[in-house]
Amino acid sequence: MDLGLKGKIAVVGGSSRGLGRAIAGELAAEGASLVVTARSEHAVAEAAESIARAAGVHVVGVAADTSKPEGVAALAGAAFREFGRIDVLVTNTGGPPAGPFESHSPAAWQSAVDRLLFSVVELSRAALPGMKERGWGRIINITSITVKQPVAELMLSNSIRAAVTGFARTLANEVAASGVTVNCVLPGYTRTDRVTELAGRVASARGLRPEDMLHAWDDEIPMKRIAEPPELAALVAFLASERASYITAASIPVDGGWIRSLY
């Protein structure tokens, strides 16, 4: 299937490892040129070089913290300088610290809002004018299954990623007639550093080993296994494509059936 991504320009957040790295690799394999980003200059340089070498496309690496205005400006500015436009924006950031309500200070809440919500709003603000002018664009926000079914120990993520969903759902209606789609992808338990860290934290609180926690999560999932990052990346590539032109305002889980609700 030709997804029609050859020659498109994609910006992928948090793309030096984990889900972001898998998404960037999938878009590059489909022929998109990329701007990849992470806070570490070394990590983002390695990711850009590796993805470019594997896919044979132009990849620019930008070290930026998109929870800050200057980080958003650096990332968007690099895309416009190098390519002149952004066709596909994939917002993705690492999750905030785990823990119950009492463990998070006001500063922790503000940091999580800046990381999870502010970055999505401001990157969308940077990309949208050009998308609307050209009559084509894709905004895909990587959120979490927690927006549909909260996960224990993830107070910050449960709360603030839900706000991203509200923003995306509202924005989707505002820009649909301009040929721009806005969707969210909801990762379930996936083999990433974030899930490994969470397994260790929850296991410690329950007097278990981390591998026991991972096995317990396997048992909660109808498919009886956690996901691999490329399985989510494949959906993102489709939503970024020409083929997905009539899909907007959706929040789509990639969770092996973990979410129990009907909607």
Q: Alpha-carbon dihedral of residues 194, 189, 196, 63, nearest 10 degrees?
A: -20
pLDDT in tens, 44-84: 999 999 999 999 999 999 999 999 999 999 999 999 999 99
The pLDDT value recorded for residue 130 is 98
Contacting residues for 233 by C-beta, under 8 A, at least 6 apart: 19, 22, 23, 25, 26
Domains, the chain, in order of start with CATH, read 9-188+228-254 (3.40.50.720), 192-226 (no CATH)
Nearest CA to 96 out of 74, 73, 67 is that of 67
pLDDT in tens, 237-248: 999 999 999 999
Is the model's pTM score more than 0.85? yes
DSSP 115-156: IIIIHHHHHHHHHHHHHHHHT-EEEEEE--GGGTS--TTBHH
